[in-house]
Amino acid sequence: MKKILGMTILLVVLCVAINLANDRFMSAVNQQNLTRQIALLAIFAIGEGIVILSGGIDLSVGSVIAFAGLFVAYAVSSFGMSPWTASLIVLGVCALIGLSHGALVTKLKLQPFIVTLCSMLVLRGLSRGLTQDETMGFGDKFESFRRLGNGDWLGIPTPVVILVVIAIIAHFFMRYTVYGRYLYAIGRNPDAARYSGVKVDRMQTGAYLACALLAGVAGILHASYTNSVQPATTGNAYELYAIAAAVLGGCSMRGGEGTVLGIVIGASVMRVMYNGIILVGIPTFYEFAVIGLVILIGVVADASVKRRAARVSKSARQPAKA
Amino acid sequence: MEGITKSFPGVRALDRVDLELYPGEVLGLIGENGAGKSTLMRILAGVYPANEGRILIDGQPVRISSVHDSMALGISIIHQELNLADNLDIATNIFLGREFTVSPFKVVRSRALADEAKKLIASVGLDAPVTTPVEKLSPGRQQLVEIAKALSMSARILVLDEPTSSLSPKEAESLFAVMSKLKAEGVSMIYISHRLPEVEEICDRVVVLRDGSRVGELKRGEISRDAMVRLMVGRDIARFFPDAGKRQGEPALAVRGFRPADVEGTFDFAVRQGEILGVFGLVGAGRTELARSLFGVEPYSGGEVTICGRPVNIRSPLDAIRHGIGMVPEDRKYLGVILEMAVRENISLPDFCSGCSKIGWLDERREARIAEEQVKALDIRTPGLAQNVEFLSGGNQQKVALAKWLAIGPKVLILDEPTRGIDVGSKSEIYRLIRRLADEGLAVIMISSEMEEILGLSDRVLVVHEGRQKGILEREEAGEESIMRLATGGTT
């Protein structure tokens, strides 16, 4: 909880600072645009976060996003399929991808890093091959589908509405069901969780399933929003953004720590920084350097706070023991 | 070694122990687990310093403050778990860190290395090419590589810690042959083993440790299994334990022809309600394998299990839990509890798991109630239910590992080394707790390598030896000697 408070303060400070530098930050247009960007990132960051806090990692997120977007655009242009039907189908395919990650990790005991790294390469290659590396879009047709990414609902960008729904469901799942508790337990210590009766394999598979599905949703939204999906570049390095957002939001790479709310705030910080870099006028070439440094500072600050907390609770323990 | 004393926080591991080793002698060093054998050898090897006492070699006092010092003095220890780099070949392993090199770029002179290694392995009777990766060798031959490595450092004192525990009888025989050859060359050896027949066969002299003190010495003619057992055990153990149980009911758990994973023999036994069945065996005898298979962690490869007369099939810990079996594993910190989670969350986990056929909402009120009940019932000393288990003392951590099972109202409780690493005061408390639970009708299977605890607490004792059930002793017939005899492969 303290961590979320800290991140919220950082977020507010960032916003205020950027707004002081350039008051266009708070303009309705920029806010609409910014929150839409946040939503597009946060949706798959939640999936990544769930995998991370169950003790795994998913590197295939960016490729799944590209694959999902291309699949919809391709099915629409080549087979005349409705984009909605195509979206449903691609979500089914994403579910299969997630399940196979889970099976490879839990049944064959492969390392998640390797499994999802391979999956990242395979899906990227397949996407490029099947589309002959051609950029795909919907042109000016399928307006209703394109509104999914671009439209709004009562002035709130549609992706934001979708994010809110997903975040609430994920939050309740992680916080108020026993399954959420199991995932945290597995992230801390999968063996002890198993000895307590947790179905570790099933829960871990579920985490990869959720991650792939959310990446699929993000991919569909992305295609709808940009109306142009590039097989070679769309979604590149998005898994790293997702990991960064999750870590900023309080997930530990060792697993067992993190909250959905934290991940959403982490994603917001990422996007606000990016937005700020443009508004403040830092050349965008430096984008990565700035984001990387801010994350590093955040993690260092967190580690030192934790070390102090550990010292305090240790010294508090001493008299009790004596 | 003279007057060696070593204390760890809260424990005096060694108390003024003397040990002398003559040139060309094989000295047996025996004692129960925790008697101080390994600590003594670690001091000799320079792993940690003694608090008191001194070490003399050839009559000269020496300072051994690091592993490096002991090596330079010609002392080499071959541990139970071998210290070889599996993926590298024999020659590289023998000279790891001491390669012959050509300056200035430290290029390794592989040819010279291989030649030297060839001579060394021939001297220990190993006939593999020196380019064989160590992982391709059997455990027995890996051991020979270790010995060759020790010889390459011109070791004069060789310590073998349970060298035969992972060897086949044939491999053990060839090891003994190598040992007598080395002995003839004047190398002195200290042989640590639980396998008394082997000690009887190859040792010239035996020193027995018990509870950190040297309790006796047997010369060549006096070495016999009975004499060793008598020295290893034999102490007052009555007061520390609760009284015997009151009554026993129906069999709660019974197994027939039960064959745990990775174990050769089968098991046939029953535990009744209200009974504590002690399971004793030396390290590696298959006790933990039995527990793991009963609890569904590893599949069992045959036999049947009945709980309260009904046959059951246990394929996962969750199956076991649903049938009313709980287990406190040997490795408390990594399997028994989740250290970084709260006391409350640890205690409620099996309860949630066993009831998860329901919708799956996290019933926090139920969780708090269960945790509070158990903390009170077991007198778990914690600042609060939200405290992470990692900050509790060992004894209280163990109580949490117990509490989570009591919360589901089990029929059978399996305890694997329930007091390992727990201080003496808490031990007695945990014993009383176990007895109380049994008196309330729970069937308890208590696995232990501590003789004291087996004798003090068990209603009956099942003895395991090399993966086989050697026998079940009633309380009246279970004595330290009768148990030890079975556990070391003898008969009743």
Query: Which residue would you say has higher pLDDT here, A318 or B441?
Result: B441
Q: Which amino acid is at B358?
A: K
- The DSSP letter of residue A231 is T
Model confidence at B236: pLDDT above 70: no
Contact flag B356-A313 (C-beta cutoff 8 Å): no
Q: Do A196 and B334 touch (CB under 8 A)?
A: no
Q: How far apart are CA B423 and CA B307, in angstroms?
A: 34
> Which whole number is the average pLDDT over B148-158?
85
Structural domain of A263: 2-317
The whole-angstrom separation of Cα A193 and Cα B346 is 9
Task: Grade residue B358 by pLDDT with cuts at 50, 70 and 90.
Answer: low
Confirm whether A224 is domain-assigned.
yes
* Distance from the Cα of residue B301 to its chain's centroid: 24
Q: What is the pLDDT of residue B265?
A: 86
- Range B324-345 average pLDDT: 90
Give residue A1's pLDDT band: very low, low, confident or very high (50, 70, 90): low
**pLDDT tens string A264-290:** 999 999 999 989 988 888 888 888 888
The pair of structure tokens assigned to B306 is 């009945």
**Band of residue B424 on the pLDDT scale cut at 50, 70, 90:** low
C-beta separation of B447 from B291 below 8 A: yes
Mapping DSSP to helix (H, G, I), strand (E, B) and coil, where does residue B387 land?
coil
State pTM to two decimals: 0.76
The label of the residue with tokens 């060298």 reads B163
At A318, the pLDDT band (50, 70, 90 cuts) reads very low
pLDDT of B468 strictly over 90: no
DSSP state letters, A11-46: HHHHHHHHHHH-GGGGSHHHHHHHHHHHHHHHHHHH
Task: Say how far apart CA B403 and CA B420 lie, in whole Å.
Answer: 17
Match 């992680």 to its residue by tokens: A174
Binary contact (B327, A181; C-beta < 8 A): no
- Give pLDDT, residue A320: 36
Q: From B349, B352, B346, select the one nearest B332 (Cα to Cα).
A: B346
Q: Which residues of A touch B327 (CB under 8 A)?
A: 195
Cα gap A195→A128, rounded to integer Å? 45
- The better pLDDT of the pair B245, A88 is held by A88
User: With pLDDT > 90 as the criterion, what percentage of chain A qualifies?
Assistant: 62
| Rounded Cα gap, residues B112 and B133, in angstroms | 18
Task: Tell me which of A172, A175, A178, A183 to substitute to probe the interface with B (most B C-beta atoms closer than 10 Å).
Answer: A178
Q: Are B54 and B61 in contact (CB under 8 A)?
A: yes
Residue with token string 């697993």: A255
Average pLDDT over residues A151-160: 90
Q: Supply angle C-alpha B52, B54, B57, rounded to 5.
A: 165
C-alpha span between B289 and A84 (Å, rounded): 54
**A256: which chain B residues are within 8 Å (Cβ-Cβ)?**
340-341
**What is the mean predicted confidence (pLDDT) over A68-92?**
93
Count of beta carbons in the 10 Å neighbourhood of residue A46: 28
Per-residue pLDDT at B461 exceeds 50: yes
- Res. B425: pLDDT tops 70: no
B460 and B428 in contact (C-beta within 8 Å)? Answer: no
pLDDT over 50 at A319, yes or no: no
Give domain status of residue A87, yes or no: yes
Given A175, A177, A191, which is nearest B334 (Cβ)? A191
Tell me the two tokens of residue A53: 């806090």
Q: Tens digit of pLDDT for each residue in B83-93? A: 788 888 888 88
Number of helices (H), then strands (E), in chain A? 13, 2
* Cβ contacts of A314 on chain B, cutoff 8 Å: 391
Query: Are residues A189 and B339 in contact, defined by beta-carbon separation less than 8 angstroms?
Result: yes
Number of domains in chain A: 1
Q: Are strands B2-8 and B11-17 parallel, antiparallel or unpaired?
A: antiparallel
Return all residues near B229 (Cβ < 8 A) that are at least 6 apart: B196, B480, B481, B484, B485, B488
ipTM over 0.85: no
A203 assigned to some structural domain: yes
Inter-chain residue contact A184 with B383, CB threshold 8 Å: no
Contact assessment for residue A185 and residue B341, using Cβ atoms and an 8 Å cutoff: yes
3-state SS class at A277: helix
What is residue A230's predicted lDDT score, i.e. its pLDDT?
92
Per-residue pLDDT, B233: 67
Does the pLDDT at position B247 exceed 90?
A: no
The whole-angstrom separation of Cα B151 and Cα B139 is 19
pLDDT of residue B237: 42
Angstrom distance (rounded) from CA A142 to CA A82: 8
| pLDDT band for position B97 (cuts 50, 70, 90) | confident
* Residue A307, pLDDT above cutoff 80: no
Q: Is A171 on the interface with B (CB under 8 A)?
A: no
Token representation of residue B321: 């839990």
Query: Residues near B195 by Cβ (< 8 Å), separated by ≥ 6?
Result: B164, B488, B489
Give mean pLDDT, residues A230-257: 90
Residue A219 pLDDT > 90, yes or no? yes
Residue A176 has its nearest CB partner, among B335, B340, B362, at: B362
Residue A122 backbone zone (phi > 0: left; psi -120 to 50: alpha; other: beta): alpha
**Could you tell me if residue B484 is left (phi over 0), alpha (psi between -120 and 50 degrees) or otherwise beta?**
alpha
Residue at A322 is within a domain: no
Question: Which residues have CB under 8 Å from B230's CB, separation 6+?
Answer: B481
Higher-confidence position of A299 and A257: A257
Residue A143 is assigned to a structural domain of this protein: yes
Task: Give the position of tokens 């997702």.
Answer: A242
In single-letter form, the type of residue at position A51 comes to: V
Q: What CATH number does residue A114 fall under?
A: 1.10.3470
Of residues B465 and A310, the one with the higher pLDDT is B465
Q: Which residue has the tokens 């040992």?
A: B179
Strands B60-62 and B75-78: unpaired
- The answer to whether A188 contacts B338, with C-beta atoms less than 8 Å apart, is yes
> Which residue is it, tokens 């086989």?
B468
pLDDT band at B442 (very low <50, low <70, confident <90, very high): very high
Over residues A21-79, the pLDDT tens digits come to 988 898 988 999 999 999 999 999 999 999 999 999 999 999 999 999 999 999 998 88
Q: Which tokens hold the place of A141?
A: 């047709």
pLDDT of the residue at B57? 87
Which of B341, B350, B393 is facing A197, going by the closest CB pair?
B350
**Residue whose structure tokens are 């798959």:** A44
Taking residues B374-394, report their average pLDDT. 88
Residue in the block written with tokens 């597995």: A186
Please tell me the predicted confidence (pLDDT) of residue A157.
93
Instruction: Report the C-alpha gap between B460 and B136 in whole angstroms.
Output: 43
Res B423: pLDDT: 63
Q: How far B318 CA sits from the closest chain A CA (Å)?
A: 4
CA B177, CA A294: separation in Å to the nearest integer?
66
Contact A269, A290 (CB under 8 A): no
pLDDT at B120 over 80: yes
Q: What mean pLDDT, rounded, does chain A reach? A: 89
Nearest Cα to Cα of residue A39 among A273, A308, A176, A221: A221
CA distances from B446 to A152, B277, B278, B334 (A): 65, 6, 5, 19
Q: Is the pLDDT of residue B475 over 90?
A: no
pLDDT at position B11 is: 65
The length of chain A in residues reads: 322
Of residues A185, A192, A313, nearest to B391 (C-beta): A313
pLDDT-derived band of residue A317, with 50, 70 and 90 as boundaries?
very low
Residue A88 in any domain: the answer is: yes
Instruction: List strands edge to edge, sheet with B304-307.
Output: B267-272, B251-258, B304-307, B310-312
DSSP-assigned states of every residue in B48-68: S--SEEEEEETTEEE---SHH
CB-neighbour burial class of residue A318 (10 A; exposed 0-12, middle 13-18, buried 19+)? exposed
Residue A236 has pLDDT above 80, yes or no: yes
Q: Is A319 on the interface with B (CB under 8 A)?
A: no
Q: What is the mean pLDDT of chain B?
A: 84
Could you tell me if A180 lies within 8 Å of chain B, comparing CB atoms? yes
The per-residue pLDDT for B238 is 44
Say if residue B104 is preceded by a cis peptide, omega within 30 of 0. yes
Q: Which of A82-86, B119-123, B301-305 shows the highest mean pLDDT?
A: A82-86
The model's confidence at residue B246, banded by pLDDT at 50, 70 and 90, is low
For residue A198, the one-letter residue type is: V
Reduce the DSSP state of residue B205 to 3 states and report it.
Answer: strand
Picking from B160, B167, B162, B166, the residue whose alpha carbon sits closest to that of residue B183 is B160
Cβ neighbours of residue A294 under 8 Å, at least 6 residues apart?
A269, A273
Cα torsion B371, B376, B381, B387 to 10°: value is 20
* Rounded Cα gap, residues A299 and A305, in angstroms: 10
> Rounded CA gap, A229 and A128, in Å?
11
- For B5-33, how does the pLDDT look when each residue is reduced to its tens digit (9 = 90+)? 877 765 677 888 898 899 889 999 988 76
Q: Determine the Cα–Cα distance for residues A194 and A190; give it in Å rounded to an integer.
A: 6
Q: What is the pLDDT of residue B228?
A: 82
Q: Hey, are the CB atoms on A181 and B352 less than 8 Å from each other?
A: yes
Give the 3-state secondary structure of B83-115. CCCCCCEHHHHHCCCCCCEECCCCEECHHHHHH
